[in-house]
Amino acid sequence: MGEGLIAKDKWWEWIEDKKDRIFLTERAKKRYGEWFPPEVKMVKNGKEVLLPPGEEMYRYLWTGEEWKVEEREFSYEPSFLFLLPCEARAIIEVTDKVFLHPPVDKNYWLRRKSLSLGILACLQPEPTCFCSLVGGGPFWRDEEALFLVPRKEDIYIEGRGEPFSFSEEGGEKIKQEIQTLQKEVEKGLPSPLPSYFPQELYHHFEDEEWNALSWRCINCGACTFLCPTCYCFDLSIEGRLKGFQLRSWDSCMFPKFTLHASFHNPRPTGKERVRQRVMHKFSYFPEREGNFACVGCGVCVEKCPVNWDIREALERMVEKIDRLRT
Amino acid sequence: MFEREIRRRAKELLEAKAVDLVIGYTSGSLPFQARPILVSSPEDTEQLVWNHFCSPNLARYLLPYRESSKKIALLAKGCDTRAVVILLREEQFPRERIHIIGLPCSGIISKRKLEEKLGEIKEEDFSWEENSFLCQGKKWEIDSFLEDTCARCRYPNPPLWDDLIGEKREPRESSVDYLEKISSQAEEERWQFFTQELSRCIRCYACRNACPLCYCKECFAESDVPRWISGVPTLSDNLFFHLGRSMHLAGRCVECGACERACPEEIKIGLLPLKVEEIIKNNFSFEAGLSLEEEAPLLTYKENDPGEFIK
């Protein structure tokens, strides 16, 4: 692991040379916009790069005798994506696990392998943020990714295989400064949900609390579409004898998401759909993969048209679970 | 601002069992935000609030109770009440199951505009009046902080009510109508504006779901047979959806702007239905949701209709 300092006016020159394209997320831009030239490609989050709202999976054609299926050929330019720690976690701990654990999703894999991440430390958690509640933090990093912390005059950078080094005497002191800064930023952030939460939550599937928790939600897809971890999709066939299979975003908030061909709908009302969103992120996914499918970025809280706040739902369920445990 | 009066009346209604529940607003989990609340016990009426951030159109929350027999009291601004009138006219609800607590409204304030003009803001630094507020040691008129859709409001008073709390207001003499923005544009410029706005749409349907009058059981946008549009938010499908929605609302839209305020991408999506209503008004001298006797022009056939548009 290399680590070192780079001057703010030198850093862009250094990074620009490394990849063909550079992306920056909108939320990272709010804090670090001045580090990037205006022509940098803006994206909402990693999902926009890795899981576009619609993509062709394969083409097919009926020749009159047989079906011909043609796989799509892709290539992607090597790219860098600069993003906040929570947004990076959404990729590394959620969507990578979904699409790269066998069976590997080819489209995702092709995009992902050409994408390097640059994690920008978060120095100002917002009122909607709750990364620490779900196991992350404003200085969360990954050894496969670059990690950058701004300092007054320069930038502290960490990354595997990077040829940085501190001057002999300064290194330890700077690392200590970074640690102190981290502690300062983390001060007052909520403590993590209890480790028994995913399993216990499952036992509250039939809890009447879901009625009280769900009525306010208008079942639009703002939260799920803007969520960096929500990856659910729909597959549709576009064209009868000649066409392609389309993968497009879908949302568990929509009634059609679970509508059967028989017209039976196992999630007929908002209650079942809200419960599904919470259960998937906080029970099913962590039981399978070991971490929540929520990174606490707070985008869903900020963008909800009726202020449905997932933190309150979690708080309510923690209370319920704890009351039963004691 | 009449909050105490609202709580008192809601409590009275619940205690007398005149209604089963009250739909109103309560404080949000974030500053400068109020959100819907269902109150069914008299003591919970203390949670009701009424302020400049009571944005969602509460008539929307009546819809899940269509099939029930519950009697509901609804806190309703001018526009919310107009939506109730349409729901009643369209026989979605019997009049006797709704108790309207009408609230003359001075307009919803845009948090974004507050931040743009005042910088970083904290809730505790504000003291609110009906038409103004104190902040940073200065008195500000609310007019320039209103949501665009509220600044042009011509019906701040509920056209129908069982209780009216607060004083009736004169409509604001708005300096610039929000629609001027598109009315004054050349055709090409307007096309450019809308394509630019709608290419940002992610089709989360927040606009549709926040709308009290978009209550189709199956929206054409999600219909499989026939399939009008795909699930991918391409510009052409987005245009199709929003134009389709505006046409479905023609002569029904009550200009509340709830769609625009719900949009997570801050797209000026209210302009389309608002423009359609302007056309309806100019052609039929009709505005939706003002009276229970009104005849919806696009749902009415007259033999002597000049029908000039098909000649």
Give B114-125 pLDDT, tens digit per residue: 999 998 899 999
Residues of A in contact with B210 (CB under 8 A): 218, 220, 305-306
Q: Is residue B85 part of a domain?
A: yes
pLDDT at A169 over 90: no
Cβ of B29 within 8 Å of Cβ of A312? The answer is yes
Q: Closest approach of chain B CAs to the CA of A270, in angstroms?
A: 10
Cβ of A234 within 8 Å of Cβ of B56? The answer is no
Q: Closest approach of chain B CAs to the CA of A256, in angstroms?
A: 8
Q: Are strands A54-62 and A67-71 parallel, antiparallel or unpaired?
A: antiparallel
Q: Is residue B128 part of a domain?
A: no
- Please give the mean pLDDT across all residues of chain A: 93
Q: Tell me, yes or no, if B232 comes closer than 8 A to chain A by beta carbon.
A: yes
Which chain A residue shows the shortest CA-CA distance from B264?
A303
pLDDT at A168 over 60: no
What burial letters (b/e) apply to A185-218, b meaning 16+ CB within 10 Å?
A: beeebeeebeeebbebbeebeebeebeebbbbbb
Cβ of A225 within 8 Å of Cβ of B210? The answer is no
CA distances to A64, B45, B56, B259 from B37, in Å: 60, 10, 11, 19
Residues of B in contact with A306 (CB under 8 A): 35-36, 56, 210, 262
d(CA A283, CA B256): 39
- At residue B130, the pLDDT reads 84
- Indicate the residue of B35, B38, B222 with minimum beta-carbon distance to A306: B35
Average pLDDT over residues A87-91: 98
Cβ of A222 within 8 Å of Cβ of B222? The answer is no
Backbone dihedral angles phi then psi of residue A170, each to the nearest 5 degrees: -75, -30
Residues of A in contact with B38 (CB under 8 A): 215
Asked if A141 and A147 touch (Cβ cutoff 8 Å), the reply is yes
Q: Is residue B132 part of a domain?
A: no
Q: Is residue B126 part of a domain?
A: no
Residues of A in contact with B262 (CB under 8 A): 218, 220, 222, 305-306
Which chain B residue shows the shortest CA-CA distance from A212?
B38
Cβ of B230 within 8 Å of Cβ of A54? The answer is yes
The highest-confidence range among A158-172, A310-324, B175-189, by mean pLDDT, is A310-324
Cβ of A238 within 8 Å of Cβ of B230? The answer is yes
Q: Are strands A154-159 and A2-7 parallel, antiparallel or unpaired?
A: antiparallel
- What is the DSSP-derived secondary structure letter of residue B87? H
- At residue B181, the pLDDT reads 83
Q: Tell me, yes or no, if A249 comes closer than 8 A to chain B by beta carbon.
A: yes
Instruction: Work out whether the CA dihedral B127, B132, B134, B136 comes out positive or negative.
Output: positive
Number of domains in chain B: 1
Cβ of A246 within 8 Å of Cβ of B208? The answer is no
For residue A166, what pLDDT band results from cuts at 50, 70 and 90? Answer: low
Cβ of A306 within 8 Å of Cβ of B232? The answer is no
B283: domain range?
3-110+146-310
- At residue B126, the pLDDT reads 93
Q: How many residues does chain B have?
A: 311
Above 0.90 for ipTM, yes or no? yes
Q: Is residue B211 part of a domain?
A: yes
User: Residue A11: CB partners within 8 Å, gap ≥ 6?
Assistant: A35, A155, A157
- At residue B249, the pLDDT reads 96
For residue A173, what pLDDT band results from cuts at 50, 70 and 90? Answer: confident
Could you report the per-residue pLDDT of A204-240, keeping only the tens digit for each?
999 999 999 999 999 999 999 999 999 999 999 999 9
pLDDT < 50 regions, chain B:
none
Q: Tell me, yes or no, if A218 comes closer than 8 A to chain B by beta carbon.
A: yes
Which chain B residue shows the shortest CA-CA distance from A238?
B230
Query: What's the pTM value of the predicted model, to 2 decimals?
Result: 0.94
Could you report the per-residue pLDDT of A113-150, keeping only the tens digit for each?
999 999 999 999 999 999 999 999 999 999 999 999 99
Could you report the per-residue pLDDT of A234-262, keeping only the tens digit for each?
999 999 999 999 999 999 999 999 999 99
- Indicate the residue of A234, A250, A309 with minimum beta-carbon distance to B29: A309
